[in-house]
Amino acid sequence: MTTFLGSIFWLIITLGVLVTFHELGHFWMARLFKVKVLRFCVGFGKPIWSRFDKQGTEIAIAPIPLGGYVKLLDTRDCEVHPDDLEATYNQKPIWQKFLIMFAGPAFNFILAFALYWLMFVVGKNEIRPTISDPTKLMQSAGFQNKDQIKNIDGEEIRTWSDVSLHLITSGIDRKDIVVEVSTASNTRINRTLALSQIPASVAEEELIDYIGLQAYRVPMPAIMGELDESMPAAKAGLMTKDLITKINDQAVKDWYQVTEIIAAIKSGPIKLDVVRNQQNITIEVPGLIPDPNDDSRMVLGITAQLPAENEIEYYRSLFFSLSYGPLESIPQAFHQINKITSKSLEMMWKLVSGKASLKNLSGPITIAQVANDSASRGFSWYLSFLALVSLSLGIINLLPVPMLDGGQMLFLMFEKIKGSPLSQQFELRAQFIGMFLLISLMSLAFYNDILRSVS
């Protein structure tokens, strides 16, 4: 399956699961309070499939998988037979209507908990957050190669995702943080990372680079390994053990940079400066050719010298399974939800207050790409992604914005204070404002998605 088709497939699966569960919350609570449900629909647009259940509810699937809805019997929408008045939504007590609206987001939180619990039980393959060749702020703060991050500002750090959450939010605030690390000699040391020194002009997407953080990589000098005599590199005169110093006059420090530079080359000739037997030699290769094993890749025909065995063993030791027993996973799932929720609310406030850029907003294209990437990494990674999006959907729907569940709940609170229902004219105007706001945000999210894809 291609990346494009895989992204579409996993987007449909992701949104299908989350929307169904969200609407199931409204549906279940409405049935609990004996409100008649006219339609339960996953997706928008004209239904492409539907059937009626024993209670007369139309269960439908529509073609646009970006949401869904539960249509309840309401005297404000249509004429209702006197015998059915007790089954109308608007005739129910305010507290029941409030719970019907709240149930959708609540089910997203319940789903997120179940997914995180299952993820911890199954186990998620992770790598311990270990630093390699720190630069800039990290270097100034005294961080060393193979420092393993254990704690940030008093909170336990287990994965690179934990590190990113702290660095991005604290970096936006330009707030110094205390990082506890375990050094290569297994000594615990606190280091203060001075994020307050980051200039205001540095954007969020540039923070990690400016901080100088790099995950540990097996050291691989730019030394040639075995060469295939039929490939351009060998034909041009390159030999095993040649040390590459420059490619097209661009300095090279390790093999990782060699692969990055070559991947960016579109056409030849390609000039390589190498050191051979302590002599500087320049060799010109006519160009790249398609990889015999993968026509989509262009290659030069060079391989790296195998790294030291002790470095490979050290790297392997960093991998672990983040897993717990069924009972232990319960508090871990709660902790994960609490952590993600607090960071999400913090980030939302930064967006509203202008501290964070609106470029951080993402739409369906990004969700599709990340869904496909998560699924390709394994079942537990997809569970983690699905839980994160479910949690985000629940949080967003609780916001006091008309057209969202939180907006409807706010109207109900006003109704309680006022002592009578709000006028339909007021609600319509508020719904229009809410719709305009949501469409604007969705348009911006689409725009950001397209910019990311193009860049």
Task: List, by residue number, the catalytic residues.
Answer: 23
Look at residue 39 and give its three-state secondary structure: strand
Distance between CA atoms of 104 and 247, rounded to whole angstroms?
Answer: 57
Distance between CA atoms of 409 and 396, rounded to whole angstroms?
Answer: 13
Distance between CA atoms of 402 and 419, rounded to whole angstroms?
Answer: 20
- Secondary structure percentages of the chain, helix, strand, coil, to 5: 50, 20, 30
DSSP code of residue 69: E
Position 237, amino acid: G
**Helix or strand run (H / E) with residue 200:** none
Give the dihedral of Cα atoms 336, 337, 343, 346; nearest 10 deg.
-160
Buried b (16+ CB within 10 A) or exposed e, 139-177: eebebbebbbbbbbeeeebebbebbebbbbbbbbeeeeb
Structure tokens at 16: 């299908």
Closest Cα to residue 168, out of 357, 390, 319?
357
CB 84 within 8 A of CB 92: no
**Conformational region of residue 153, where left means phi above 0, alpha means psi within -120 to 50, and beta covers everything else:** left
Structure tokens at 156: 């336990």
Residue-wise DSSP of 227-276: --TTSHHHHHT--TT-EEEEETTEE--SHHHHHHHHHH--SS-EEEEEEE
